[in-house]
Amino acid sequence: MPTPNELIERLTQIGQSLKNTNAAYALLGLGSAGREQDRLDQYSDLDFFVIAKEQKKQSFLKDLSWLTQISPAGYYFQNTVDGFKFLYKDGIFCEFAIFEADELPSIPFSQGKVIWSESGFDTSLLHPTSTQGVYQRSDDIEWILGEALTNLYVGLGRYQRGEKLSAFKFVQSFALDRLIDLCHIQWTPKQNSQDIFMPDRRLENRFEAAEALIDQCAQGYSKTIESALAQLRWLEEHFEVNSAIAGEIRRLGKK
């Protein structure tokens, strides 16, 4: 597995390779490859944007030699119209997109770190301006609680009907997502490193009680009932839960 130093070195090499093409303006590191490099570990990947010069985007997408000349590729595929998931043979994994500068205002992304930029390029263009796609958590506790409870109710109804996969998703995905929202509201984080796109990222690192709670609330496909009742108990411990819906969830939770 690559070390953090090896990941940073590879990112630097990618920046130098882009510079050598004379067809790019900048390399923007994102997430742990950007402003949060203190989070880099052997399981991290390199997320980045390449800012191509005008009319050069497609050439970067069609010819990945700017990556492969650094080190051989093990596997890659184009996962979006703008980018690739790319695994080097040495185990370094990249997920990247190519944009021209005038596309950036409509692209949602978190604040990154400029790894390399051409002299004279206006790096202020690399600040995010779009909130589309950014996770927008409601702070309306009544709404979140209602969504959690009704998803538990629907999920257990489907379980009793024999629709166990759908039940699993309603309880251990849809309802659990809302319970996680409530955790973010109810608990004080140990560290402020919330992912603005995926609130379940780093949950265990942010909150001491998270791992034990999720262990009870997401017990797997064969334990949807147990997971639902664990979620209900937590909700009742922390919030005022309507007795009628709680009673129905418990009724459906009887095997």
**pLDDT tens per residue across span 23-55:** 999 999 998 898 889 888 887 889 999 999 999
Q: Is residue 223 part of a domain?
A: yes
Distances (CA, A) of 115 to 4, 15, 25, 182, 202: 15, 7, 11, 36, 24
Task: Identify whether residues 216 and 244 lie together within a single domain.
Answer: yes
- Give the best-scoring range by mean pLDDT among 16-20, 78-82, 106-110, 161-165: 16-20
Average pLDDT, the chain: 88
Q: Is residue 201 part of a domain?
A: yes
CA atoms of 207 and 150, how far apart (whole Å): 26
Task: Identify whether residues 205 and 165 lie together within a single domain.
Answer: yes
pLDDT at 244 over 90: no
Say what the pLDDT of residue 231 is. 95
Q: Which domain holds residue 72?
A: 4-126
Share of the chain above pLDDT 70, in %: 87
Q: Is residue 157 part of a domain?
A: yes
pLDDT band for position 135 (50/70/90)?
Answer: very low
Last residue of a domain, which of 68, 95, 126?
Answer: 126
pLDDT band for position 66 (50/70/90)?
Answer: very high
pLDDT at 191 over 70: no
Say what the pLDDT of residue 138 is. 59
Question: What CATH number should be reported for the domain holding residue 197?
Answer: 1.20.120
Measured from the Cβ of residue 159, the count of other Cβ atoms closer than 10 Å reads: 22
Task: Identify whether residues 70 and 154 lie together within a single domain.
Answer: no
Q: Is residue 131 part of a domain?
A: no
Task: Identify whether residues 21 and 101 lie together within a single domain.
Answer: yes
Last residue of a domain, which of 78, 102, 126?
Answer: 126
Nearest Cα residue to 54 out of 100, 93, 119, 113? 100
When divided into structural domains, the chain yields a total of 2
Residue range 210-229, pLDDT digits in tens = 778 888 889 999 999 999 99
CA atoms of 35 and 111, how far apart (whole Å): 7
Q: Is residue 57 part of a domain?
A: yes
Strands 46-52 and 24-30: antiparallel
Element (H, E) at 10: helix 4-21
Reported pTM? 0.66
Say what the pLDDT of residue 208 is. 66
Task: Identify whether residues 73 and 145 lie together within a single domain.
Answer: no
Residues composing the chain? 255
pLDDT at 245 over 60: yes
pLDDT at 111 over 90: no
Q: Is residue 134 part of a domain?
A: no
Task: Identify whether residues 211 and 116 lie together within a single domain.
Answer: no
pLDDT at 186 over 80: no
Task: Identify whether residues 118 and 163 lie together within a single domain.
Answer: no
